[in-house]
Chain A
């Protein structure tokens, strides 16, 4: 899949195989080859400039700011070395924030992958109406995120729709968004239902790519459905499992609107994930230096997770080929 990254394949060799057409266009300096070089730079220039201005320079600035005490209101910007980092390490809220971040990410990834795979397997059966169900399960993906969150916010109120329905069934539901555990579970569930459709269709595509004769061979060997799933399906779709887990983990660290609308990080810090804490410190409180320090931590986590998962992926792809 991605090993092609190293070598630009398919670019027609400008010299060599075909002799350059004799009537050279333009002045002598602008050979086809030189023109092509220039074209290459021009084609990638907007994206390259954008990456530098809006990704790399800000990243460098994050590190720079994190070494400063910055008070916007009084207009001071003083170099304080690693003070912010020390403050972060001793921040009494940090353990709770990290715990919430870990619970949220792990909870989301596990439930998301499991449900996506279950739905994909169910929809991969030869049944009537699977397209309808696929559309239904995918539909929250296209629903505006904040609208979706607001609706769940209404449903999850103490006197909201969910507890109302539970009451008609004779169950007394908790005040979902006000208890530590139920608030976290609610936030995970809202995000899960919103986006599981994406992973579901990726899994569906992967399932449809498993060659049929593998199942036939397994069946000849007497493997039942469950055994076929474990020994044929899972290994064959493992690259997709890894890809979706990378997307989901990194995506879970970028979740913001759901927290801001549903719980504002509460109760206490039980749903204050790292990005929400960063926002709280940097914007309402105007602690830009400290906010930048939290950004560095967030960046480090994203980086480590991505690198680890890509390492795993390399191993997995290797297994696939051997």
Chain B
């Protein structure tokens, strides 16, 4: 392919990358573009330490001049915020574990076991990709009402774990299991492993990257749900975080901005810290196994 004459320029290009001027331009563009990505988080965290009346002061304070924890204190006194935090956390964890179980089982079943009607059943499941759960919010609400589950956490757990959101996870797991070499399982079979053991002891340990990607986006999806909680929940102590955040208001219904920002910071910082620590797994997991279709 490459004749000897072309080697030097290619070499230079590979090692040195771009010419200096272009390099500086790229850095400049990246830095400008990064502003809207970083500034809101910066503003949220710094403003959460401002007294309520300085959030809107002019000139804007990029650093709180008289930092206070009042916003944080109020977040816990105005609402059962710790309880709401716990609600979001345990719901997201249950949904993540449940989705991992449901989707890895189904993904494995569709990818590696042969049974009658398999393709038809797979098509039935795939309809979940076509029908966002928002479309069916009215009948879902009526269903849960008839089961006496309105104003409980059940709808927020059951629908994501078994309904449309988990179908995407099943699809991803299936695509992953299809790529596993069959010899591994043949060897397990010779050792007398049954189906579940083949799944549990051979396929599942090999599918960590896919499981990781599914776990991350499932957790984030549950953590971010907003329409469903405001439709189903009406008792403050049962609220989830996204719903609670908008409820920090004064006696006239006007938002208490600094309290909202303190509460928002508390919901953002733990996930953000986790992300910064494990950003490679986050990003590469999502890019490589997550949505390759």
Among A4, A144, A145, A253, point to the contact of B132 (Cβ < 8 A).
A253
CB distance B119 to A43 under 8 Å? Answer: no
Chain A residues with CB under 8 Å of B76's CB are none
Is A96 an interface residue, CB under 8 A from the partner? Answer: no
Chain A residues with CB under 8 Å of B119's CB are 6, 8
List CB contacts (< 8 Å) of B238-253 with chain A: 241-243, 245-246
List CB contacts (< 8 Å) of B181-212 with chain A: 181-182, 185-186, 189, 192, 194-196, 199
Closest to A40 in B: B115
**A14 to B264 CA separation, bound complex (whole angstroms):** 55
Number of interface residues of B (CB under 8 A): 120
Within the complex, what minimum Cβ distance (angstroms) separates A118 from chain B?
8
Query: For chain A, which range describes its interface: under 10, 10 to 19, 20 to 34, or 35 or more residues?
Result: 35 or more
Is B114 an interface residue, CB under 8 A from the partner? Answer: yes
**A295 to B279 CA separation, bound complex (whole angstroms):** 38
- In the assembled complex, 28 residue pairs joining A and B whose CB atoms fall closer than 8 Å, in A order, are A12-B186, A36-B195, A39-B194, A46-B162, A48-B121, A50-B166, A51-B124, A51-B125, A54-B159, A65-B138, A123-B30, A125-B18, A125-B26, A129-B27, A135-B275, A138-B282, A139-B41, A144-B242, A144-B268, A161-B43, A164-B60, A165-B60, A168-B60, A220-B6, A243-B291, A256-B134, A278-B134, A295-B137
Is B110 an interface residue, CB under 8 A from the partner? Answer: yes
Chain B residues with CB under 8 Å of A217's CB are 1
CB-defined interface of B101-130 with A at 8 Å, one 1/0 digit per residue? 111011011111111101101101101101
Is B80 an interface residue, CB under 8 A from the partner? Answer: no
Is A143 an interface residue, CB under 8 A from the partner? Answer: yes
Which A residues are within 8 Å of any B CB, using their own CB? 1-2, 4-6, 8-14, 18, 25, 35-37, 39-44, 46-59, 61-62, 65, 115, 119, 122-123, 125-127, 129, 131, 133-148, 150-152, 154-155, 157, 159-161, 164-165, 167-168, 189, 193, 197-198, 201-202, 204-205, 213, 216-217, 219-220, 243, 247, 250, 253-254, 256-257, 260-261, 275, 278-279, 282-283, 288, 291-292, 295, 298-299, 302-303, 306
Known: A55-B128, A144-B223, A147-B267. A9 touches B114 (CB 8 A): no
Chain A residues with CB under 8 Å of B105's CB are 43-44, 46-47
Known: A51-B167, A54-B159. A202 touches B291 (CB 8 A): yes
Chain B residues with CB under 8 Å of A288's CB are 138, 142
**A256 to B225 CA separation, bound complex (whole angstroms):** 10
Q: Which of B133, B140, B199 has the most CB of A within 10 A?
A: B140
CB distance B162 to A133 under 8 Å? Answer: no
**A41 to B74 CA separation, bound complex (whole angstroms):** 53
Which B residues are within 8 Å of any A CB, using their own CB? 1-2, 6, 10, 14, 17-18, 23, 26-27, 29-30, 33-34, 36-38, 40-41, 43-44, 47, 55-56, 58-60, 101-103, 105-106, 108-116, 118-119, 121-122, 124-125, 127-128, 130-143, 158-159, 161-164, 166-167, 170, 177-182, 185-186, 189, 192, 194-196, 199, 220, 223-224, 226-227, 230-231, 241-243, 245-246, 257, 260-261, 264-265, 267-268, 271-272, 274-276, 279, 282-284, 286-288, 291-293
**A39 to B108 CA separation, bound complex (whole angstroms):** 11
Among A41, A51, A157, point to the contact of B115 (Cβ < 8 A).
A41
Within the complex, what minimum Cβ distance (angstroms) separates B7 from chain A?
10
Chain A residues with CB under 8 Å of B106's CB are 43-44, 46-48
Chain A residues with CB under 8 Å of B287's CB are 201-202, 204-205
CB distance A126 to B17 under 8 Å? Answer: yes
**A127 to B19 CA separation, bound complex (whole angstroms):** 11
**A40 to B1 CA separation, bound complex (whole angstroms):** 49
Chain B residues with CB under 8 Å of A50's CB are 102, 161-163, 166
